[in-house]
Chain A
């Protein structure tokens, strides 16, 4: 009897476990379906707007919140879901987007870079030409924005804001102590001389660099090439017909800078810690996109022109190296009607002001009232509007395809993250971009 009872109970137990497992599986798959099934209202005007972006921390998160708030104000009736996916820069967002597009479950829109970066989404992006037309974006955006948001003859995305890439920031008191006038640095060689002066006159790091990822070095390459070899050479490089001598000369300057004037712990720190060196007065210069300035604004008692300053990267005066934060529009859209409304909103003055003033970037429209922005961004906006040339960036999607960008970063990782091998890096870069 007891034996039988035992057996029975064990059987029941196993059976119950099996049932629970099955129920769990069913629940999981049901949940999964539910997640993407939320877009049930295909077509029509309904459907939930689902937007993916990577602004999870600091300025980005504040800016994204401001964007959502402005959107709710403008379109109170649209059901929406803004999902931030952070980590690894944009890497995790890109991976999630890639999976969802691959599985035919696209979001309504996702944050990304336009330009050649669109090529990786070849065939899965829809056409937002009607939004561009209705809202008259072509008339209010700079020509580069108009060009870079098209692929195969159709608009694929709408820009939200723009950062500037060819920036050099400095700590005012450190450069003053060294006796360097940043405004006089109008060539890369003058810049290297200034780094030498900082090194001999002060205890500070001449140039702080966070190289735990390779992107900072690739980015520095692009500004240095633009500043030293000029606009044409840089554009030839992006277009796939690089002048090997120009690439080599750029790497020689870089090797001199990185080999002599950067912090010893560059390889173990990233941008945030590197930027902290400027705020704390441990370093004189940093090259970065102007998102770096967001950290200065958030630092206490650290004001523009008094404590930190901006200089166009030496040699690239009069140019604005472009970066765009845009929203890309997947075809087979789960909520086409509301997505169009969202896209129209993204390019509107309300959205661009709300987002960019917190993000530390500027509107891509040239007709926006800049009074809400601080003095630094107002100057940036003027530079943007009046720039002689607006070359696309190398590291953030506008200059080369994502595959080329990976190849360039492979080269930086294996040949140019110390020791600095100019020959191999030159060869690698030329091979990577050449058609």
Chain B
């Protein structure tokens, strides 16, 4: 027995050893198999499809962000090469101490939140109206969506004319209503809201389409059940329908917020330069001014990182939400 066991053990060892020495020549234990075991059965085989884009995106997006962050730690300005030997957070402390940066950051934030909320609200209202089986539904939908298809360059010029103090259509309306004329672009307390209004006009149609798709996905039974239970129309939407539009709200708001961060194009076209009207400076315009008017590359990079963190603050929770729902 013991002998047997011993031999068994011995032979077992021998087999194991032999197995180990034999295996590399065979195919039982290999890096490929290990990777497949760890990441899924097709990991290596499928890599030819996802690996090239993965590397390209990694290099050109994430690599660039990291590089940008590194530059923001240097004192790089003018022409030449950045000195990576001397890294510190000087550019960030300088930014926080500069009133221009703080104003731009606050404006960016106000634009982000205000524009997104108002546009979502307006889009939802339009979607509900269009969804009520009105006549010419398609026509209305097209009309509301049309501004979205126009470029910022075009809409900014429209609004520059419409906001004109003397002969802009908005002041003609307000003065005929007895409200007097308003210096929409010249008054630093108003200009940001004027810009927000113009952007809202452009993107409300987009929010409408997203909500409309959400509404169409809700089965008719829900409307009918609410009616049978005696809910009024307002109550029906408030209690039954709108809560089901959470997904639409989240995806629309992420897109809208990203558009708000990109309002650079609009402001650039509005004034034909890198400096928006006083009171409407945002981080994106300030970044471009620092980079190209002053050649302060490091400082502009620091502003870019601040902008990036803001974006991450928006997209991060969204990704987490999607991850929790199992969509990622």
> How far is the CB of B134 from the nearest CB of chain A, in Å?
37
- When chains A and B are docked, how far (Å) is the Cα of A101 from the Cα of B295? 12
Does A12 sit within 8 A of B, measured CB to CB?
no
A contact residues around B273 at 8 Å (CB): 88-89, 91, 213
- When chains A and B are docked, how far (Å) is the Cα of A404 from the Cα of B42? 60
Does B266 sit within 8 A of A, measured CB to CB?
no
- When chains A and B are docked, how far (Å) is the Cα of A406 from the Cα of B184? 25
User: A267 touching B79 by the CB < 8 A rule?
Assistant: no
Scan residues 83-132 of chain A and give those whose CB is less than 8 A from a CB of chain B.
87-89, 91, 94-95, 98, 101-102, 120-124
Does A270 sit within 8 A of B, measured CB to CB?
yes
> How far is the CB of A431 from the nearest CB of chain B, in Å?
13
Interface residue range, chain A:
35 or more
Residue of A nearest to B164 (CB): A268
User: A265 touching B165 by the CB < 8 A rule?
Assistant: yes
A contact residues around B165 at 8 Å (CB): 264-265, 267-268
User: A268 touching B185 by the CB < 8 A rule?
Assistant: yes
Scan residues 270-293 of chain B and give those whose CB is less than 8 A from a CB of chain A.
270-275, 277-278, 281, 288-289, 291-293
Residue among A89, A121, A265 having the largest count of chain B Cβ atoms under 10 Å: A265
User: A409 touching B164 by the CB < 8 A rule?
Assistant: no
> How far is the CB of B303 from the nearest CB of chain A, in Å?
14
Does A402 sit within 8 A of B, measured CB to CB?
yes
- When chains A and B are docked, how far (Å) is the Cα of A410 from the Cα of B275? 9
A contact residues around B187 at 8 Å (CB): 267, 418
User: B272 touching A87 by the CB < 8 A rule?
Assistant: yes
Fill in one digit per residue for A14-27: 1 if any B CB lies within 8 Å of its CB, else 0: 11001001100100
B contact residues around A268 at 8 Å (CB): 160, 163-165, 168, 183-186
User: B295 touching A18 by the CB < 8 A rule?
Assistant: no
A contact residues around B164 at 8 Å (CB): 265, 268-269
User: A266 touching B186 by the CB < 8 A rule?
Assistant: yes
User: A417 touching B293 by the CB < 8 A rule?
Assistant: no
Residue of B nearest to A412 (CB): B278
B contact residues around A213 at 8 Å (CB): 271-273, 275
User: B292 touching A91 by the CB < 8 A rule?
Assistant: yes
- When chains A and B are docked, how far (Å) is the Cα of A67 from the Cα of B122? 54
Given contacts A25-B56, A212-B185, contact A402 B274 (CB under 8 A): no
A contact residues around B163 at 8 Å (CB): 268
User: B275 touching A409 by the CB < 8 A rule?
Assistant: yes
Does B141 sit within 8 A of A, measured CB to CB?
no
Interface residue range, chain B:
35 or more
A-B contact count (CB 8 A): 103
Identify whether the interface residues of A are mostly helix, strand, loop, or mixed.
Answer: helix
- When chains A and B are docked, how far (Å) is the Cα of A91 from the Cα of B163? 25
Does B28 sit within 8 A of A, measured CB to CB?
no
B contact residues around A414 at 8 Å (CB): 100, 278
Scan residues 33-70 of chain B and give those whose CB is less than 8 A from a CB of chain A.
48-49, 52-53, 56
Scan residues 232-269 of chain A and give those whose CB is less than 8 A from a CB of chain B.
263-269
Scan residues 122-148 of chain A and give those whose CB is less than 8 A from a CB of chain B.
122-124
User: A124 touching B293 by the CB < 8 A rule?
Assistant: no
User: B295 touching A98 by the CB < 8 A rule?
Assistant: yes
User: A124 touching B79 by the CB < 8 A rule?
Assistant: yes
Does B78 sit within 8 A of A, measured CB to CB?
yes
User: A98 touching B292 by the CB < 8 A rule?
Assistant: yes
B contact residues around A124 at 8 Å (CB): 79
Scan residues 257-277 of chain B and give those whose CB is less than 8 A from a CB of chain A.
268, 270-275, 277
- When chains A and B are docked, how far (Å) is the Cα of A214 from the Cα of B166? 20
10 smallest CB-CB distances across A and B, nearest first, come from A267-B186, A265-B165, A95-B292, A88-B273, A265-B166, A124-B79, A268-B185, A413-B278, A264-B165, A268-B164
A sample of 26 inter-chain contacts (CB < 8 A) reads A15-B49, A88-B272, A88-B273, A89-B273, A95-B291, A98-B292, A98-B295, A120-B295, A122-B79, A213-B271, A263-B166, A264-B166, A265-B164, A265-B167, A267-B165, A267-B186, A268-B165, A268-B185, A402-B295, A403-B294, A413-B277, A413-B278, A414-B278, A417-B186, A417-B277, A418-B187
